Amino acid sequence: MSENEQRDFLWESWRFVKQIFPLLIVGVFAVGVMRVIIKPEWIEALAGRNSLLGNLAGVIFGVFMYFPTLVEVPIANMFLNLGMHRGPLLAYLMADPELSLQSILITAAIIGRLKAWVYVFWVALFSTLAGLIYGAWFNGTSIWILALYLGAFLVFIASGLYFTNKRNSSKSANPLPTSAD
C-alpha cells in the first residue's frame, strides 16, 4: 500500500468513526432511558416465552419502532436483559431492518398498496416463523422435529402458491364474455 493509499484509508476510517460514533452514543443513551421506562414484567409477559404472540410482538415492534442498524444491537441486548426470549428477539431483529413504517409507505407509493402489503405480510410471516423455529431450537426441541415443521410449512406455502397460480391461469384462459351492442 502506498503512502497516499494509507493516508486515504486512515482519513476514510476517521470519517466513518465520526459518522457512526454519535449514533452509537445516542443509541446507548436511548437504551438507558428506555430501560428505566420499560418494566421487565411487561417484556416477560409479552415476549418472555417462545409463543406466536411473542414473536408477532417482536415483529410489530420492529415495524413501528425505527432504529438505525447500529442502535439495534444495544436495544436487542436490553430486551434480552429485560427477559425477552431469544425467539421473539430474533423475529424483531429480522423484521426491524426490513420493515419500517417509512419503508412501507415508500414501497406502497412505488409498487402499489396491495403489493406492498403482500410484501409486509411475507416478511412478517417469515420473521415470525424464524423466531418460532429458533426459539424452539433454543429451548431444546429436536432438530428433526423442527425440520418436519419447516417442511410442512413449506409444503403448505407451495400448495397455496400452486393453487393460486392454477386459479389465475384458468381465469386468464377463460376470460369473461363481453356483451355486444
Task: Give 97-127 as a DSSP string.
Answer: HH--HHHHHHHHHHH-HHHHHHHHHHHHHHH
Q: What is the pLDDT along the chain (181 residues), one digit of tens a residue?
A: 889 999 999 999 999 888 888 877 887 888 788 888 889 999 999 999 999 999 999 999 888 887 777 778 888 999 999 999 999 999 999 998 888 888 888 899 999 999 999 999 999 999 999 999 999 999 999 999 999 989 999 999 999 999 989 988 887 766 666 665 5
In angstroms, the CA 118 to CA 10 distance is 45
Asked whether the beta carbons of 64 and 56 are under 8 A apart, the reply is no
